[in-house]
Structure 1
Amino acid sequence: MFGYENINLTFSFNLIFFIISLLIIIAYSVYVYKYTLPPVSRFRRFFLAFIRIIALTLLVFIIFEPTLILTEKKILPPVSLFFIDNSKSMQINDGSKRTEVVNRFIDDIINTDVKGEKKFYSFGSRTDAVAADSLNKLNFTEPSTNFAQIIDIIRNSDDNISTITIISDGVITDGSTPFYSAQRLGIPFFNLAVGDSSRKKDIELKNVLFNEYIYAQTPTAINAVITNNGFAGKNVSAGLYEGSNLISQKNIILDKSGVNSLSFEYTPVESGEKKIQIKVSVLDNEASALNNNKSFFVNILDNKINILLIAGSPGADLTFIKNSLTEDPNLKVNTLTQISPNRFLEQNQNLLLDSADIIYLIDYPTQNSDNGFLTKVSDKLRNKNIPLFLLLSSDVSPLKLKTIEDLLPISVTQIENNYLQVQPNPEFNESSNPLLNHSSESDWNNLPPIPQAISNIKVKPEGRVIVKTLVSGQPRSNPLIVTKNLGSKRSIVVLGNEIWRWKLQTAQKNIKLFDSFLLSSNRWLNAPDEDKKIMIRTSKKFYAAGEPIDFSAQVYDDLFNPLSDAELKLNISGPEYHDEIILSSIGNGLYEGSLSLTKNGDYKFSGQVLFDNKNLGYDNGTFNVGDVDPELLESRMNFDFLNQLSIETKGKTYVNTNTDQLIGDLIQANQDLSKEKILTSEIRLWSSEILLILVIVLFSLEWFIRKRSGML
């Protein structure tokens, strides 16, 4: 009816009461106008009674809160999505004519009658929709390749997506591998692998392992792997550089296995940010010299740091956390274990508290915790800007936690003794978070469940949820790990206990997530320079020539309140370059800006903040352009990644010469994939202004006619 599958009218009250009310209205209106003073014509009495019946009926109709429910059946045709790699690597000349293969496939698929709709996207550092008639304008110049953004586009689509086709060389230079996320979509990926996967004669420096934060005057190892194909037995030299200064050099005979391990000992002299390079000499006839060196930045910290673990009671979490942290020789770990309301197992509580650089609260404070010592902990955290890690279980007292709640990313009003068994579910856009990026997505998904107390918790605006929960394999919105980084305040909260399971029950799988998470948390909590009122950062340290360089800044006043009306001037200098840009305020003390640079080299930036013509301070930093162009480092097509992606999603991967087979399979896959979608819409008639106006008009008309007739 009227194009709808079903039309229903419902009331908030029983329909029988509406019918009874309607009968009463009719009887009352007829009775009122059966006799009138002065007498009027029969037609006028009938008309006045009719007006009153309609007006009162509409009024009662509104009181009964009627809702009109319209049900529509919609046939959704299948939609095929095509994602075309628009990055620089598609221009690599490896004999496979990559761009020609892409353009030929685009022409073929546009002119092929695939059932349903076809939508096209280009992807690289970002993913954009592209009209079919604009596909020939792709320039293949994106500075990076991010597959994770493809999953975001698909996840947010309301279309009846039947197939997904990715045309790419499969080399990821930004973001994470989306195997797990793609599998959860339930849509097959049909990938066209473009390029040459054969190994060429080359030497490559890869897998450089280092600590981002290390300590002055403390030796640390920087490890790397050198691979070679076709150069076994050749001699090369490898050098470690701090800036332009050679620190150490080694001569290496390339192994016939194709792999050489390399280790340098690096002892930084002073604190600060240092650019480190490893360079391997270039031999004749190498396929590429770009992959013979690696550059990275390290932060040199002063001295060792003191960690204080305060536990509400002895337990496995305390033991496992302590054992993991003591594996780092740069940490001195002390404990305070509550064994009665006013007593700790260890002595010298005040001395240990005073010397702490980072405090871990493990199921503390409890209902029995001493208020006096808790106040000292609160004062230490607040007055000395000490970073905080909190492990929250039902043993923690919400009332006593109020003492330090302003330092946390959450507020807690109630914690029950009942638990849910939850698994971690990292947020998709947090894959590069320093607390998570030392472990793969599959490692997090393989962790055993831990108890999470059922509680009333609210994440504050400055809180950042980096891990949510899975309950029986189903995603929940409950946070599991929340962080806060506001001004000088840094804190991490884990909303669960018995996290020792993450280490003990994964030991046989050789999953090191527990240790890496704690050590990464410790480094993040102790990261330098976060107590400044002005913080200016680049989105990363290394950029390709021409790639947008994004700056972000945070500005606070003396009380660390966000300051949004300041003027932030940023001076950038480098090789034969000097310029100034103004960062724009986006509210809440945040500022942003960007520029592009084409000349390779190391650059410095210095930002000055003015407010009411007063200098609030400055911040500075460094970045590099051109040392690393990730799109040109790997010339081989990564067929294994594309093939594994299609296997995980029950699709298929094709190589350059199999485009006809790919198109045929796409036609077949879209044959019977139309589906019905039931759309239900509710119209709340009782809130309609038109009905109210109509009631007023009818009563006004009745009153007007009665007055014209001389009636009361």
Structure 2
Amino acid sequence: MPTQTILYIIGSGILALFIALFQYVYKTKRHRLHWGLAGVRFISVFSLLLLVINPKFETKESKIIKPVLAVMVDNSQSVNYLNKDSISSEAVQTLLRNTEITSKYDVKVYPFGTQINQNSTLTFEDTQTNITKSLQDIESLYDSQFAPVVLISDGNQTIGDAYEFASKQFEQVVFPLILGDSIYHTDLKIQQINVNKYTYLNNKFPVEIIASYTGNTAVQSELRIESRGRIIHKERVQFSATNNSIILTPKIVSTKVGLQRYQVSLSPVENEKNTVNNKKSFAIETIDEYTNIALVTSLSHPDLGALKAAIETNKQRLVKICSPIEYLETNDNYGLAILYQPNQSFKAVFDLIEKRKLNTFIIGGSQTQWAFLNAIQSDFKQEVTGQYENYQGVVNPNFNNFSVDDFMFNTYPPLTAEFGSIALNVSHETLLFKSINGSPTQEPLWFTFENNSQRTAVLLAENLWKWRMHSFREDQNFKSFDSFMAKLIQYLNIKNQNTRLLVNYESIYDGSQPLEISAQFFNKNYEPNRNAQLVIKLKNKATGQQLEYPMIAVQNSYNINLNALEPGNYSFEVRANGGTHRSFGEIEILDFNIEQQFINANVQKLEQLAIHTDGAAFFDTQIDGLMSELISDNRFLSIQKFTKKTVPLIGIKFWLLLLLSSLAIEWFIRKYNGLI
């Protein structure tokens, strides 16, 4: 308290005493009553003067603050599946009942799944586990104090960053209590299936299957692929402690058009507890690519037979050789036209192709009327010299329309073409460059381009039959040449839809990926339109229930999360701007629970977590050792906290009560004794 305030208080006491004596003692009979009244008046005046001065008093309070012990409890279903739920609950109660623990720590219980829960009730019903996020939540909650963490978990995380690495950044010390043991139970698992989204009818498509094994002994299992209740592929597979992961790539024949669903499974081995992860499903869309192809020519040439034979190795394609007149007269619905060495008689053919918007394959040569071909279209112009040259083909490694990595034609016989340069007036992709006498050029010999909704391939040379014969001479079969032609025809057989609404989705959602559907909508210039209104309408095929949701714009796409949907088969329709553009599809949501995929505690990761945070790991049978460690660890001690408070006199209720009481007593005495 300042010296000036003390002097004010002393002065106030002297003044109050002077006033009291002057009023009741000075020039009066000094009776005991007057001395009493003088004392009461002194108290009243002195109290009033002190309130005017209002001196401030400092007080100190001390408080013992115990460190928080954050008990994080894995509340996911995997704990229940491992039959560790009762052990986990009992471990929590053991910590709460231990008087040495509760006297040293302020124990807080936090169940967690994807994040910590302030409600301490344990249900073991969370369907996802994010240990990293939950530990980060504790870090944020107690960022300014020591709060050691007891992590009661099996260590199996389903989402989030890897906690064994993220823990290097953690400030709090973590003591994992491992719900399990170091014994790995025998388990087979289908880890992943990789397959294309589409295939063609009667085509063999590869299925990449990644399977894993946990165990110490060599085992044998049978891998099966089933569709519509029928086994379509099976083979024996072997695993061991060292050979614990295999990749299989069986080829499956697609026999039915539409979305086809398949299930891959591994037969259980002896003592295998969890067989749920032995199965995994996938789906593929089978497209009927049966195509009638018109090979239009007015000539007889060996190339015609070679082309027909090469293309028809795919049983889904039929080639009809016809003259221009026959092509115009036929009513066949051709999906592709091959124009072999066009001349003046092809004028009506080009007109009909343009009208039907067909994809075409134009082949030139020594009998092509180049002046006519240059005039009938404006996409490319061949210099007409009337001279011919033999060119070899050099594959362009940057060709992107389809894969050409397996084909090399530099050793193939040369092809005959018009000598002269070629001028291209459209954006194009060069498939083969010309090479003369082993010297490559940048002149295209074979190229492709797309114009609006049409695709076109142009070969400027004849004598492809020599290439097919060369393939047979080299490999004793025509497979190399025929495969190359199959890729070209497949590229030309796909109609460029130029759709403005593109929808991206998975046919089967098994819980291992986000249940999301995304879409893109383009304006008339095929630029992303970010101001459209997209709506998705779903129908449950089993119950008939219909649901409709708006899709949310995210940058250049529109997304919808459907995690709330029940398992089942759904058809859907995506509409843009009230239905001006629509897209349809089907999805299947499997009743998949990722927490059921675990049969072992992840001991190694939990031990790494303890090392990175300077803690120690204990198994659930070592709860006493954990408590001893917590009790004896001198890093976590209680803190005595002192609080200094400054209190003004006017804030002390007792002083006001004293003033009022003294005034009241004085008035009562005076009234009683007739002095008023």
Give TM-score, length-normalised by structure 2. 0.46
Larger Rg: 2
Give TM-score, length-normalised by structure 1. 0.44
